[in-house]
Amino acid sequence: MFGCHSLCASDTALRLARFSFKGIRKGESDALTDKIKLIKGKIVTDALVKNTQLAVRKYFVDKGFLNTTVKPMQVRDSTLPGNAVALVFVVDKKRKVKINEIIFEGNKDFTDAKLRKRLKKTKQREIYHVFTPSKFVATQYEEDKDKLAKFYSKNGYRDFRIVSDTVYASTLRKAASTTTATLTGMATTCTLMPNSPAF
């Protein structure tokens, strides 16, 4: 008989018999299995469970599911040896987060629209561009900030830097299957150096 229990300390070292994921599609489960590579027979420690939990969450956060939760469960089975356990990671991806608006502060030399075009993979939702992807992916956002810095540098702003940036939840323009975020506080500071290229 199976029974689910929260992970707890034990005098006997528990060893991993198998692991699985609940709440996600088979393709996602297979991809995670290949990515995480948990080894059967390995001692189940708090660190192993926590690291796996974080890795699963990061996998979905990187795909735009910023509010993903992952709950690890220990499953005891009478057919398994006494110190063997199965781990189940219950995943709730929640809604995919899309970008409602990108706001620049301290931008004096270029239009906001021009700067948004430099963000190749970080796009805000536009009514007239319904097919433009606007999901928020943290790794792509960091890459686009680097592209923005290169754009300023190319135009003579050698000391350009992004002072700060913030991502916060927005209650505006929510779609049925998405939540939205606004990128704001992308405050910039820059000085135009001599002999800059033409805009």
The answer to whether the 2-92 and 96-189 domains have the same CATH topology is: yes
pLDDT at residue number 13:
84
Contacts of 1 (CB under 8 A, 6+ apart): 77, 78
Work out the pLDDT band at 45, boundaries 50, 70, 90. very high
Dihedral, CA atoms, 131, 132, 134, 138, nearest 10 degrees?
130
Which architecture, in CATH terms, is 96-189?
Roll (3.10)
pTM above 0.75, yes or no: no
Q: pLDDT tens across 6-19, in order?
A: 444 444 788 999 99
Fold of 2-92: Ubiquitin-like (UB roll) (3.10.20)
In the chain, what are the domain boundaries? Answer: 2-92, 96-189
Name residues whose C-beta falls within 8 Å of residue 113's C-beta, 6 or more positions apart in sequence: none
Nearest to residue 103, comparing CAs of 163, 167, 174? 167
Can you read off the two tokens belonging to residue 52? 């796996």
* Interatomic CA distance for residues 38 and 144, integer angstroms: 33
pLDDT digits (tens, 9 = 90+) for 53-84: 999 999 998 888 888 999 999 987 677 777 88
pLDDT on residue 130: 53
